[in-house]
Structure 1
Amino acid sequence: MTAADQLRVTDHETWIRRQVAPFALFMGFLLVLQVAGSFFASDLPSARWWRKAPEQWIYPVQTMACLVLLGAWWKSYEFNWSLRWSLAGAVFGAVGIGCWLLPTVIWDRWQPQGEGWWTWLGVQDRKNGFDPGEFFSPGGAAWWAAMVMRFLRAAVVVALVEEIFWRSFLMRLVADWSGRYWLQPFGKHTWLVFAVVTGGFVLAHAPVDYAGAIVYGTLTYLLAVWSRNLGACIIMHAVANGLMGWFVVATGKTGLW
């Protein structure tokens, strides 16, 4: 029995807290960003960059805070790293993010005007979003620092906090919500688990991403059930977000992240 398994069996309250807290901390920073946008941000030409775009400094602080928490509790998680399942996760991640990016690729070829049913499928340009180049000289030290932190946030922090919460914690909770759910094995399948976990994952994203999130969330659920391996799901998420970041940099579609 690993240290993570032993913690789950002998001290479930601590196990629950360590499963949920990183995700809660991550989401808490998004709330801070909303508050900053309402009371602190400024569009005035004379405003400094940290007021024009609070996300440019809130995201790095969010990233470091979550990394510190995850690092302190690292041995509490049942990653069960495996080369075989990590490779499978990488393939799933590439396929999943390919489906997520397909609508905006279709937009490039089709370029429909106005709004319609295609909007709900994510067929949009996605050019307006997080872009350090608006405030820092591209290729400069500040620009590189912002990009490194952005990739670190997307490919490491998001992959860890979301998979620990959605797959390691919530799948178990829904599988046996009225009993000792923390003793459930990782990746246990029921249709209710699939509906709640995948639905929650989809709703955590913007409506423009719902179609991609449905496909991606379903693939991640299948990988979790098939592999029974949390590490594989994290690798899938890390590869997917890393490829998305590369796509954003290559195409300028900053609205994707």
Structure 2
Amino acid sequence: MKKETFSRVFPFALFMLFIGLEEFARFLQGKDILQVGTHAIYWIYPVKAVAVGAVLIFFRKHYREMRLGDLGRPTQTVASLLVGLGVFWLWVNMDWSFGTQGAPSGFNPNVFDDTSRTGMTAVRLAGAVLVVPVMEELFWRSFLLRYIIDGKFSRVPIGTFSWASFLATVVLFGLEHNYFLAGMMAGAAFNLLLYYTRSISQCILAHAVANLALGIYVLQTGQWRFW
């Protein structure tokens, strides 16, 4: 596997591996095979966030499509901010039972004491805003969206449209999330933003805004299922 592919696939694969580890730990806990409290499983998240963040930093030179200068385009940046806020608003209003893959476990920081609660909440928010948007946008909209069009994805311009790549990434992005219909909505919104801006950086911004708004909402309302 070439570095251009590996550097975008591996962070996502590592992230999903940690999610699988979390779900397996919950399964063992539910069967009374793993005798630990819920708070112990929560400690997997900071390890996941740090590990994936470190991998992204290690491969940073390969992400030439991430250009901060793109955010200097006022019209596109405003559009990204609005898309992020729109995705957040729709997400919290699409928590339909038929659009959910099982009961969401969520993250409730109240299982920790005051000191640990503050630290875990900060890590959770930082991971959702600083790590996840970069990791996911590099995989879904920089790599997979182009890879479906051409196996030699790096020669496909950012923001190239095809129905096959659009629909496949929307469906798969949705299935990655517990609220899969909300996930499909977000995947479609970020794809459309990419076609408009031709910028991965703008998609990362929109994704980060959506996650930040959701994090603030969760902390204000105690709707932990969204975390």
Indicate the residue corresponding to 1:203 in structure 2.
175
Question: Could you say which residue in structure 1 is the equivalent of 2:108?
Answer: 131
- Deviation, structure 1 residue 241: 0.6
The separation in 1 between residues aligned to 2:13 and 2:146, in whole angstroms, is 18
* Partners of 1:249 and 1:28 in 2: CA distance: 27
Q: Give the structure with higher Rg (CA).
A: 1
Aligned letter for 1:246? I
Using the size of structure 1 for normalisation, the TM-score is: 0.78
2:155 corresponds to: 183
Give the 3 Å change call, closer, same or farther, for CA 127–31 of structure 1 in structure 2: closer
Partner of 2:78: 87
Change in Cα spacing, 1:229 to 1:53, as seen in structure 2 (3 Å) is same
Distance 1:127 1:216, change over 3 A: closer
**Count, aligned residues:** 218
Q: Which amino acid aligns with 2:67?
A: N
Q: CA deviation at 1:19?
A: 0.9
Q: Cα RMSD between the aligned structures?
A: 2.2
Unaligned residue ranges in structure 1 (runs of 5+):
1-11, 105-117
Give % identity: 30
For 1:210 and 1:34, locate their aligned partners in 2 and report how far apart those are by CA, in whole Å: 17
1:254 is aligned with what amino acid?
W
CA contact (8 A) 2:173 2:183 kept: yes
Match of 1:162 in 2: 136
The question of 1:102 aligning with 2:93 is answered yes
Which SS does the other structure have where 2:93 is aligned?
Answer: helix
- Please say which of residues 158-167 and 72-81 is displaced more in the overlay: 72-81
Distance 1:71 1:223 in 2: 25
- Structure 2 distance, partners of 1:21, 1:99, is 30
**By how many angstroms is 1:120 displaced?**
2.0
Matches of 2:31 and 2:175, distance apart in 1: 29
CA shift for structure 1 position 156: 1.5
| Aligned residue number for residue 201 of structure 2 | 231
Deviation at 1:128, TM superposition (A): 6.0
The Cα offsets for residues 205-225 of structure 1, whole Å up to 9 and x where unpaired, read as 12xx23322222111110111
| 1-structure distance, mates of 2:97, 2:8 | 35
Report the 3-state secondary structure (helix = DSSP H, G, I; strand = E; otherwise coil) of the residue aligned with 1:175.
coil
Query: What is the alpha-carbon distance in structure 2 between the residues aligned to residue 155 and residue 220 of structure 1?
Result: 15
Measured against aligned partners, the alpha-carbon deviations of 1:64-102 in whole angstroms (never above 9, x if no partner) come to 001111111112111122232333222110011111112
Specify every segment of 5 or more residues in structure 2 that has no aligned partner in the other structure, as ranges: none
Q: Which residue of 2 aligns with 1:109?
A: none
Structure 1 residues 106-125: aligned runs within 5 Å = 119-121=97-99
Between the aligned partners of 1:96 and 1:52, the Cα distance in structure 2 is 29
> TM (normalized to structure 2)?
0.88
Q: Does 1:59 align with 2:60?
A: no
Q: Distance in 1 between matches of 2:47 and 2:9?
A: 19
